[in-house]
Amino acid sequence: MRYLIIAISSFFCVATHAGVVLSIEQVADGIYVHQGKHEWPDHKNHGAIANIGFIVGERCVAVIDTGGNPEEGRSLKRAIAKTTGKPICYVINTHVHPDHIFGNIAFKESGTQFVGHHKLARAMAARGQFYIDKAEDQIGMALTAEHIIPPDIEVEKTLLLDLGGRELLLTAHPTAHTDNDLSIYDRKTDTLWLGDLFFIGHLPTLDGSLKGWLVELAELEQKSFKQVIPGHGPVVTDWPKSLDPQQRYLGTLLTEIRNMIKNGRFIEEAIEQVGYEFKGQWQLFDEFHKKNVTAAFAELEWED
């Protein structure tokens, strides 16, 4: 069959008789990643902007995040079928944000279990209707409650998943990027899949705790990995050096906002003054920076 390369929903796919197959790259033995584009979710990309992918064991496959809309999830599923005949046993969501979970419905079938942080179900229940209500206006897709799929397996601290000859160590992190961040470590290839705890190129977005995030990054910085997969941006092989820009940005927010609060300054001033030396160093800075400052100020003004 002759394959026709087409652009669809702002990510490149291969067209077949069965539909589009999401483009993927094998970044290590049995680990496949689709790198999302650094874009604001809109009617053109339909929210398909995050890194998603899968890990293949001898027995079965674990999906890591499913994309920003149901069709991206289906395209990822076709990519898996094109890569391996092994069944999908787990769908692991790294956190609650729509660009990582709205493809879940493509994988809802007998034999597949959804896995997430022990606080993920609560976050989905609290935010799900808001995400659904916003979807048609923001990404041009009409979604319903069936598209919010909570985990069957909840990770309290750590959990080992055996894919057959391959164990994945899942870690439920304290509040950082969100209050439901989950990371996945593949022992076989020494690969850490960090989700949105780690950003490359795309401005980090704060939806949890600035202080908590910096603590988690400081702990991760002390460890070595052959490669690390961020939630947005390319896979890196120079950990922890590649973490430096994110730590500098978040650390500056912490220092500057604390100083402003100590000096009796107001949140409106912080929003207009803090962290602008980083403009030009991060994509989507204008879209997210003021929100980050607002969230950080709200957290830090109540410090003891």
Q: Report yes or no on 74 lying in a domain.
A: yes
Does residue 74 contact residue 65 with C-beta atoms inside 8 Å?
Answer: no
How many domains in the chain? Answer: 1
pLDDT per 10-residue tile (average), the chain, 304 residues? 33 51 98 98 97 98 98 98 98 98 97 98 98 97 97 98 98 98 98 98 98 98 98 98 98 98 97 98 98 98 87
- What's the rounded Cα separation, in Å, for the pair 97 and 94? 9
Helix 210-221 and helix 285-300, axial crossing angle in degrees, nearest 10: 100
Q: Report yes or no on 188 lying in a domain.
A: yes
* Residue 248 burial (CB count, 10 A): 13
Q: Report yes or no on 86 lying in a domain.
A: yes
- What's the rounded Cα separation, in Å, for the pair 45 and 29? 30
Q: Report yes or no on 213 lying in a domain.
A: yes
- What's the rounded Cα separation, in Å, for the pair 126 and 277? 35
> Residue 20: in which H helix or E strand, if any?
strand 19-22
Amino acid 243 reads L
Q: Report yes or no on 296 lying in a domain.
A: no
Reduce the DSSP state of residue 52 to 3 states and report it. strand
Amino acid 130 reads F
pTM of this structure: 0.93
Q: Tell me the CATH number at 135.
A: 3.60.15.10
Q: Report yes or no on 96 lying in a domain.
A: yes
Which structural domain range is residue 170 located in?
A: 25-240
Reduce the DSSP state of residue 231 to 3 states and report it. strand
Q: Report yes or no on 8 lying in a domain.
A: no
The pLDDT of residue 117? 99
Beta bridge partners of residue 14, listed in sequence order:
5, 21
Sign of CA dihedral 116, 118, 121, 123: negative
The pLDDT of residue 19? 83
